[in-house]
Structure 1
């Protein structure tokens, strides 16, 4: 295993690939790394379900399938490219800022999910640079983790279930619909490399950010296709979000241009559905963000319930963008817990909406996989869920509290009279204008003192003044204003249409009148009269909002205001009113705002007093949108020229305007305000100074700690180098030891020898399976004293001999039998490890010698029988009696050779033979069938036939006659397999003589005769 990697430089991997595997994962991992292209510049972190009691051999096993360095993870290790990291057993692993952190697994009553834990940390730390791979395994670990990776924009690859030895984890991940690719492990490596090197993914070329007019049109067509498929207008989404998702799909499908992808969308409804689902990003879980839900549980929900005790309509909650429903059910559980603890019976309606019909359908079923045990406590699981095989189903009581519906928060009207709106991690995907529109809808939905629960990255924007923060970190706000903020789809009304002061516009009177009269209604004559009266008698006036910005003008006020000047244009009254009226107007507005009552000034001078001054009456009328105390207000600033005054008498309310007096009063008011502002500023400065001192102190501590860490880092670097050297040596020894151990196991298993290892206390350390045939030992007996174990051997001194061997270090060998008659050789051998200080023990070997014993007995029995037969039967005389009755058949197609052989037979002294001759195989067989033939002398080659054909014919007719081959060929040139059949001897014609024939005939007959003797005395 090669673990060489440059630790001196901090090279960041291009991608971080998390690989989750369980049962059967070793084969999948081996196949994955066997086919992985070299130098991908990515890091591979393997997370497995490992037994806490078993030392993993994964580094050694994987080293045979890859040349990349393999590292068992240590806490705080930097992740580097082209390296493999293995999670240790009994640990959970996280990734933070490019470092792997490990922690002990907490004891729990439910299964650990280390893959889910790591995948979530991987998604949070690396975002779109995360790739999740799910390989063979049982259960559902990794399913929730890939949801987090998908939400962050990462890639998900799942092993094709048919190729997995255990398909539980791949199927569970595939059913989520989040898998980008489903492949066998052998094809994953090439797909990953093509994805991370695709120009749109690597950043070499962006297909969206550098769009031209043509590509803008293509994007519009893609949006139209999406709207046809899902009825959602994704053009409201942030351009960066849409671009990132489309470019990601370009990388997954290995396409080069937007036009190619548009064609794919037209041809593949599935790809269109995948893109729509990715843009919706429907990922959530139960009690997501524990800190935020804890604040809801302790502060918000109790307050909502307390404020609704007298409400007849009960509690109304709106979960906008509910996705698969976990958040809605989480709120239902919290409300039910509080109501049950207080014994209250208040109806709760939770409106859970989403634009995705499929997500709403899944949420309505209320069925969730077993991995929710990571987010829901055991108590809540038991109270609010029913277990059905491998799933959990929400109980009817909770399900009835939630009403699911398809709803588009951008285009559809909002709900009303809501106590709390939960809209988390949805707004961040909308464009700014769409965010403002949706927030206005949420604001409209809430009751006064209603709560708004947003995602961690979302803000209120321009509506911040209408809410008060309950917890800024958790993004929980309470509505404190009842000001009317029209929705973006409503027509303009008497209130402003935007929270931006510069865009607030008052509707003209003519439009209001048109709205009142309708089209050609019966009251059109009266409305015309009212319009004429407004034109004739309404004085010149400016309508101001609460910020004193001019939002509408009636009449001609040009002589009281300034013209447009260079620079930034402002419609605030202090910037547009002429200098002669600035004191009077500011004083009147201040008093009207402070006292919330109308103010009337008379004899206000406009122009130079020494020449021809103009005197006007100035009034400020306060107009409230409703009778509520916090209703929005407008101010009507009226100007009436005393020479042209035609209005009702208000002299009893008018105050003669004294410039000096009003100026002094205004100065006093401004000074009082200034004093208050200065006091407030001083308090703020003191708080900032205190905070600054604390920050300086903390900064000094951090600098000191940083210096210590740098020093420690240098020491750790040195130690790490030493550990690396030692580790390399150990890795090599492990490889050698593993190979030697495998060879030893193979040898032991092949010898069929039972072996038992006893330690110095004579307790069982290890044994081979063959030993269980004679010693009644089981796996659970490891560590038990050997004398507790029974056996089937007739060996009375077994245990005492073991004690002798252990004490005296001598070797004892005994032969004994078993209860079923087997003969066993038992050897007791003392042993001690190479390390003299290590414990010594006894090695017991059990060898079955039953076969050897039986062979020994059989040989002895045969020897005795032979000896007895030849001693008592007079065997030497029988051959002489048999010699005169020999019938020979000579077979040769050559007449000269045939005559020569017969002549040699006649010359043998002391022997008389009855000789039959034949020149063909058929005639020879006929002679044998008609006569008793003791021996055949056969020529090997007879024309087109040979002695092999003759033997075959004899075998076919089941005739057994001993044969001697006569041939002109050497013996080594003949068929060896043929010579091992009925052929007893071989004679060369070139060396043939009477004496040789005699010896051969006697040898064959004696051998044949011995076979009959063996049969006679019962020897096989």
Structure 2
């Protein structure tokens, strides 16, 4: 035999790989349609072998999304099969509201919601019947799917005009707002719809559901998987909960877990007190009778009732206890001896809740009754919260309300954990409301900031235009400056040549002053020293850098400057002044000497006095 796997085994290997790596279990889907879609995707990427396609999935993570989009064909729309939705609104929702008070919550589950059209259709139907205010207060819609991309699209709640073709114009006006060329579902009602991922095959169902909508989703699964999913739906629904299926799905009478409300429009109600096998909701492809004879049903029903997961008791038309399961016996201290006793003689009649009045109400109104928020402190135990369901049992179930009531089933649901969770959620909800108000305030501030930014952008655009003009002017000026720079460069070259000449002249004058043995001091008009030669340094012992810039009269030298002051002042005021004086002085060695001082005026080119020159020479 060849080791090579058959084509079917290769295909199953692909399904196992998807389950192990991404958690998607497609083994419950119909093989024919599933293989057709996988092969369609393989042909799109040019792959023929299942093994090669697994290799492609391993190296290209984006291929998973493309494959899932091909398998999970999200064909949906607003108000699909309009007659069925009208029947749901007029017959089912109206009856559901009649059984509830104005503040009792209504929980709805849209299973397989795809891109959200079905969930928002439910919201519009309920809002039309309840009114927007009561809808926001009472209704919570849970919308689930396995396709993450479809859920992301649904959360945005934005649809094109073509996608809204199935919505009546008046509902579009009421429930949608224009949004960037498309239409967005109203934000205040959008918050009642909660989207989340849920795999009907693997994940636990949402509980305590009053209306469960799953249209044209079961048709993709095989018969065994459909039966398992519908068993979970039965668990999820409240005692009188309603199941709304698509027209491609129907009910086979293998059990009594669901009773038809309108078979043509696929509306069913959960049958209370059902004890038969798991019902089969299947598509037309599986509509075939597979009945077999089952023996020992009475004994099986007895054990099933006794081992039920919730406490349950049954009284007959005489208000006598006829049945109590193990949970009821353990919870309320009942025993086999209590069976056959009147309800009024049992503690159960008033603990944990007064039952006789509720029993009488069920018998008179001939419909189920739920007693909520029942708190009961068990003797020596913890505080429990219960919900009590009282359901009339009719003698002929097929005749419904026209039949005599032969008893009443009393079921006690322990909702302690749910109540604690609800309290925690209430606290969390208060925190979320506070956070929402803060976000709302922040959003208003952001809108104001956005308007200011818009104004700033407009101003910047205007400024940009002005800067553009300024830039053009600057370019023109730059050309002019370039021309001026060329001229300055020429001038700079000329000045450099003149500076070089001046340096040479200065060097020449410096050499003259240095060559003179006599001391030479040159003063500016303010009598500050501007030249001090080496002869002056030798005569008075003061260096040039110490003397230059100082006032003549502030110098500490042996020359009697006070006597020379009148002479210097005459030289500063008269351009032709020239005189010679002899004065006694003390040279740098501290010896008394006689110094001959020649003082003349320093003339400018214009012949004006511009300073004074002192030539000093020590006399023999």
Identify which of structures 1 and 2 has the higher relative contact order when contacts are C-alpha pairs closer than 8 Å and 6+ apart: 2
The alignment's TM-score, normalised by the length of structure 2, stands at 0.44
